[in-house]
Amino acid sequence: MGSIHGIIAPIVTPMFEDESINEGELRRQVDRMITAGIHGIFAFGTNGEGYILSAEEKEFVLSVAIDQTKGRVPVYAGTGCIGTMDTIALSRRAEALGADYLSIITPSFAAASQDELFEHYAAIAGAVNTPIVLYNIPARTGNALAASTVRRLSEVEGIVGIKDSSGNFDNMLQYIEAVGGEDFAVLSGNDSLILWNLLAGGAGGIAGCANVFPENMVAIYESFASGDIEAAKRSQENIRSFRDCFQYGNPNTIVKVAVALLGHPVGPCRKPFGRISPQGLEAVRNALVESATAGIR
C-alpha cells in the first residue's frame, strides 16, 4: 500500500437522470484517473456527494471502485457519520469490502468539544484495523479539529493522517508543524494550496480538480518530487481560472458540471444541489476552453 502521498482524486459519483448510480461511468472515471497517474481514488468524498448517498449506495460505490481499481492505487472510503456508532458500522463495512484507508469527516450539526472529537476518533480507531485519515472541513460541519487535538490523535494507533479543507494555510501549517512527517500525512483539501502544502512538509492533496484536470494535478506533485519547483508552480497556477468559477455555486456542482462538459456522462449533482446559473455555466465553459487551448488536461 505504501505511504500516503501525492494527489488523491475524490472521484465524482456518476448518476443517471433519475439519480441512480451509473456504474459503467464510475468504472470509466476510475480508469481515467489512474491512467492520468493519480496516486489514490477516494470514493464518496465531498466531491463524490457522500453527504447525500445512502449507506447502501456508499457500499455499492466503494465495491465498484475497489473492483475497478484492482489494487493499482489505494482506495479511500469516506465513512464519517454524525454519530460514533454509525461511523464505526460504516467503517467496518468499508473495511470488509477492502478499502485501504478510511477518511473520516468530523461530526456535524451539533457542536463538539475537542475532547468529544478526540474520543470519537479514538473509539473508531479502536474498532477497525484499517488506517484512518482525519478530515477537517469546518465550513461544512461546524466542527474544527485543533492542532493540539490532531497531535493527540496522531498518537492513537491506526490514525495516520489528516485532510485539511479549512482553506486556512496557517491552520494546515500548524498541523504540519505539530505532527507532519513520514508517519503522519497532512494533505491539503484546498486545491490552491497543494504546492504550498508540499513545500511546508505536507504529503500532497485530495483534489477535487483532479476530476477535471487529472494530469495537471498529478504534475503538481510529480514536478515537486523531481525538484522542478517552477514546473510545479505552473501546474498549480493552471487551475486558477477554473477555481474562479466556484463563485457561481457549490464547488461540487461546478466540478461535476465541468466533467460533464468535457464529454463524460456523469450527470448533475443530486438534487437540490445540481443547479448552476447560465452565467456560471458560461464561465465554466470559457475556463475549460482556455485550459484546453493551453494544453491543460
State the Cα angle at 25 between 23 and 28, rounded to 5°: 115
**Alpha carbon of residue 259 to chain centroid:** 16
Q: Is 163 a catalytic residue?
A: yes
Q: How many CA atoms lie within 13 A of 261 on its CB side?
A: 22
Three-state DSSP state, 76: strand
Question: How far is it, in rounded angstroms, from Cα 173 to Cα 157?
Answer: 23
The answer to whether 179 and 134 are in contact (CB under 8 A) is no
Per the CB < 8 A criterion, the answer to whether 195 and 225 are in contact is: no
At residue 91, what is the residue type? S
Q: At what angle do helices 147-154 and 114-127 cross, to 10 degrees?
A: 20
In sequence order, the 6+-apart residues with CB closer than 8 A to the CB of 267 are 14, 15, 16, 17, 19, 22, 256, 260
- The residue from 76, 101, 121, 135 that is catalytic is 135
- Interstrand relation of 204-206 and 185-188 (parallel, antiparallel or unpaired): parallel
Please say if 135 is a catalytic residue: yes
Which residues are known to be catalytic?
135, 163
